[in-house]
Amino acid sequence: MRIGLLTEGGYPYVTGEARLWCDRLVRGLDRHEFDIFALSRSAHQEEQGWIQLPPQVHRVRTAPLWTAEDDGVVYGRRARRRFAAHWGELAAAVCAEGGEAADRFASGLYGLADLEREEGGLAVALRSEAAVDALEKACRAPGAPRAAREARVADLLTVTGLIERTLRPLSLDWYEEVEGGLGAVDLCHAASGGAAALPGLLAKHFFGVPLLVTEYGVQLRAHYLGAAGALSAPARALLAGFHGRLAEEVYRQAALITPGNTHARRWQERCGADKAKLRTVYPGMDSSRFAEIGESAEPADPDTLVWVGRIEPSKDLIALLHAFAEIRKEEPKVRLRIVGAPAEGAEAATYLAHCKALAAQLFPDEAEGVHAVGDNPVSFEEIGSPEVPELADAYGAGGVVVLSSVVEGFPISLVEAMFCGRATVSTDVGAVVEVIGGTGLVVPPRNPRALADACLALLRDPERRDRLGAAARARALELFTVDQNIAAFRSIYLEIVSHHPVRRDALDESGEPQPFANPAEVYVPGRWTAPGAEERSGAGERPAGSGPAWAAAGAARTATGAAVDVAAAADGDAGAEDEPVGVGAAGEGER
């Protein structure tokens, strides 16, 4: 089948999010054809180019989210009225509450998409004074939230600009049925929610192409966290309303949704995702580079604590250093190695300098005697340095791996430590407890004393440490490998296409209709399901007059999709809180 992979700020670019799991997914599903539809976030990202793509990627189409293009279209009176009506509906839904708001948002969104497809000029209209006036009118309407009513002109301008940026995919030329357009694919797979899923929504709206949404970091949560200190309260409330409505519509239209963990799944359910559509698929990672360390199981220094990750305030290294000060009081020989990627940006560099200054203050250079050279028990190192040439070497350097974060999505560094057979001490944030599953110690965040006590417990008990490390490695190899992830998505692709086929006329090379290309049951009204699925899903009765055609469809499905139907029947209620479907490769996430 042909898959339209939708990305934002990542694959196939060299830098960005979700690059690794997208690349592993595409390479692992080499029997499918992929068209990549990528949204870039900056000129710098585009200048750095793409990674080397496998042969199953037939086409890549890109578009910038960081700049808007003016197509020169000026709306006439009729188009202006249409824009005012649709944008007014969307703005009213952003400022409203209740069940009707979702329908109004969808009406406004698809109305704007239809207007752009027929007339063009949407990008200019969304930046116009009329758009700001309509948003202000919605904020002042009866029943609007208090925060929206308090929005000032500056807030309205900011929010309108950010909404226009998110809606730029509506103005793309990707929505065609010809080769290379989204209308020609069998399935759209959005690598995240938000702007990346918008082309998938329009492909379903215009052509009936089913949509699969994968979220290893929930976009709505990222917007909440990212706007926390940068915007005023009214602006945050309006943007939260917009992104909440967009997430709700994406989840409503998706054929299936694959969260990367239960933490993300809970966010999706609160945003309106149907439990019956959810399939948990854990991120899959390459375990081969950690095999040597994991099989040896013997650390270079059992009395060393190791922290690995990206140095930033959310990782709370300050609490880790204070916890290490408590550890040193009881175990003076213990050392702490902080191994991170090179600091990127002024904030990360400032935070790293602050951590180094605190370490120097808490732990003055120590020496065993008057003739020995002093040394600090805390070291800050970078991956690729002579001391830590490879990532696996960092985990192999100590007996216990520590995670001290206050905010975390899917903890990649913990999974890497588990592949290496290391016992771990972690804070209870994000999906940590789900990932660890009883193979490590978990403490509350922002609690240096608890962190210190847990580390001391493992440092003083080598047998327990080894036992937890072995269990952690076995769990990681069972749940978090690339093979498990690819197998899960292979099954999910087949399930979606079998239940949501795109009904299009088959054409030959000259563009003429091709007789007998589709089976007869394709043209019979009604939704085709596996035998007995009507009772399970609550679907209506078979179409009137279907008779033999319905039976033929069932026979065809039995012949071509038996494995899918059997899996569906065995799965029962797919939305229940059950074990994940397959597991594996998707987000390298954030370390």
Residue 546 has pLDDT above 70, yes or no: no
What mean pLDDT comes out for the span 46-74? Answer: 89
Q: Given this model, what pLDDT does residue 538 score?
A: 40
Q: Given this model, what pLDDT does residue 522 score?
A: 58
The Cα 551–Cα 187 span in angstroms is 26
Q: Which of 300, 383, 292, 290 is nearest to 335 (CA)?
A: 300
Residue 315 has pLDDT above 90, yes or no: yes
Residue with tokens 């054809």: 33
Check whether residue 61 and residue 181 sit in a common domain: yes
What mean pLDDT comes out for the span 410-426? Answer: 95
Asked if residue 547 is part of any domain, the answer here is no
Domain closes at, from 455, 478, 501:
478
Q: Report angle CA 297, 298, 303 to the nearest 5 degrees.
A: 125
Check whether residue 119 and residue 12 sit in a common domain: no
Q: Which residues contact residue 347 at a Cβ distance below 8 angstroms, ignoring those fewer than 6 apart?
A: 312, 313
The encoded tokens of residue 432 equal 């940590």
Check whether residue 484 and residue 473 sit in a common domain: no
Q: In what side-by-side order are the strands of the sheet with 187-190?
A: 57-64, 33-40, 2-8, 187-190, 211-215, 256-259
Domain closes at, from 416, 451, 478:
478
Q: Given this model, what pLDDT does residue 550 score?
A: 39
Chain-centroid distance of CA 6 in Å reads 12
Asked if residue 535 is part of any domain, the answer here is no
Check whether residue 391 and residue 275 sit in a common domain: no
Chain-centroid distance of CA 39 in Å reads 15
The encoded tokens of residue 350 equal 């400032």
Burial category of 179 from C-beta neighbours within 10 Å (exposed 0-12, middle 13-18, buried 19 and up): exposed
The Cα 491–Cα 400 span in angstroms is 37
Asked if residue 335 is part of any domain, the answer here is yes
Asked if residue 29 is part of any domain, the answer here is yes
Residue 85's φ and ψ, nearest 5 degrees, are -70, -50
Tell me which amino acid residue 293 is: I
Residue 307's φ and ψ, nearest 5 degrees, are -120, 130
What mean pLDDT comes out for the span 368-372? Answer: 56
Percent of the chain past pLDDT 70, that is, above it, reads: 83
Asked if residue 549 is part of any domain, the answer here is no
Percent of the chain past pLDDT 90, that is, above it, reads: 62
Q: What is the pLDDT of residues 490-529, one digit of tens each?
A: 999 999 999 998 877 666 777 677 776 666 665 565 555 5
Check whether residue 114 and residue 198 sit in a common domain: no
The Cα 294–Cα 291 span in angstroms is 5
Give the count of beta carbons closer than 10 Å to the beta carbon of residue 70. Answer: 9
Asked if residue 519 is part of any domain, the answer here is no
The Cα 220–Cα 236 span in angstroms is 12
Among the ranges given (93-107, 299-313, 469-483, 532-546), the one the predictor scored with the smallest mean pLDDT: 532-546
Q: 3-class DSSP state for residue 57?
A: strand
Among the ranges given (37-51, 121-135, 215-229, 525-539), the one the predictor scored with the smallest mean pLDDT: 525-539
Q: What is the pLDDT of residues 552-580, one digit of tens each?
A: 444 343 333 333 333 333 343 444 444 45
Residue 536 has pLDDT above 80, yes or no: no
Do 502 and 209 form a contact (C-beta atoms < 8 A)? yes
Going by pLDDT thresholds of 50, 70 and 90, the confidence category of residue 389 is: confident
Check whether residue 147 and residue 189 sit in a common domain: no
Check whether residue 42 and residue 85 sit in a common domain: no
Q: Which residues contact residue 81 at a Cβ distance below 8 angstroms, ignoring those fewer than 6 apart?
A: none
Asked if residue 545 is part of any domain, the answer here is no
Check whether residue 328 and residue 455 sit in a common domain: yes
Q: Does 341 or 444 have the greater pLDDT score?
A: 444
Asked if residue 307 is part of any domain, the answer here is yes
Residue 234 CB-half CA count within 13 A: 20
- How far is CA 247 from each of CA 175, 223, 337, 404, rounded to the nearest angstrom? 21, 11, 41, 30
What mean pLDDT comes out for the span 97-122? Answer: 92
Which ranges in 288-403 belong to alpha helices (H)?
Answer: 291-296, 317-330, 346-362, 391-396
Check whether residue 484 and residue 366 sit in a common domain: no
The Cα 202–Cα 206 span in angstroms is 6
Q: Given this model, what pLDDT does residue 68 score?
A: 80
Residue 63 has pLDDT above 90, yes or no: yes
Check whether residue 354 and residue 248 sit in a common domain: no
Check whether residue 307 and residue 437 sit in a common domain: yes
CATH number, domain with residue 234: 3.40.50.2000
Do 139 and 156 form a contact (C-beta atoms < 8 A)? yes
The Cα 181–Cα 203 span in angstroms is 9
Q: Does 68 or 133 have the greater pLDDT score?
A: 133
Q: Report angle CA 115, 121, 123 to the nearest 5 degrees.
A: 100
Q: Given this model, what pLDDT does residue 301 score?
A: 87
The Cα 280–Cα 267 span in angstroms is 13
The Cα 412–Cα 403 span in angstroms is 11
Q: Which domain holds residue 455?
A: 288-478
Q: Does 20 or 414 have the greater pLDDT score?
A: 414
Q: Report angle CA 89, 95, 97 to the nearest 5 degrees.
A: 100
What mean pLDDT comes out for the span 467-495? Answer: 95
Longest pairwise C-alpha distance within the chain: 98
Residue 77 has pLDDT above 90, yes or no: yes
Q: What is the pLDDT of residues 228-273, one digit of tens each?
A: 567 888 998 999 899 999 999 999 999 999 999 888 898 899 888 9
- How far is CA 136 from each of CA 141, 159, 223, rounded to the nearest angstrom? 9, 11, 22
Residue 581 has pLDDT above 80, yes or no: no
Do 178 and 33 form a contact (C-beta atoms < 8 A)? no
Chain-centroid distance of CA 367 in Å reads 48
Q: Given this model, what pLDDT does residue 369 score?
A: 58
Residue 544 has pLDDT above 50, yes or no: no
Check whether residue 127 and residue 186 sit in a common domain: no
Q: 3-class DSSP state for residue 211?
A: strand
Rg from Cα positions in the chain: 27
Residue 583 has pLDDT above 70, yes or no: no
Q: Given this model, what pLDDT does residue 152 score?
A: 94
Do 32 and 205 form a contact (C-beta atoms < 8 A)? no
Q: Given this model, what pLDDT does residue 226 score?
A: 65
Q: Which residues contact residue 134 at a Cβ distance below 8 angstroms, ignoring those fewer than 6 apart?
A: 84, 87, 88, 91
The Cα 581–Cα 579 span in angstroms is 7
Q: Which residues contact residue 445 at a Cβ distance below 8 angstroms, ignoring those fewer than 6 apart?
A: 316, 319, 404, 405, 406, 427, 428, 429
Going by pLDDT thresholds of 50, 70 and 90, the confidence category of residue 140 is: very high
- For the chain, the domain total comes to 3
The Cα 228–Cα 247 span in angstroms is 19
The encoded tokens of residue 163 equal 């909404």
The Cα 170–Cα 173 span in angstroms is 9
Domain closes at, from 105, 135, 163:
163
The encoded tokens of residue 79 equal 């188009």
What mean pLDDT comes out for the span 189-201? Answer: 94
Q: What is the mean pLDDT of the chain?
A: 85
The Cα 330–Cα 457 span in angstroms is 11
What mean pLDDT comes out for the span 63-68? Answer: 88
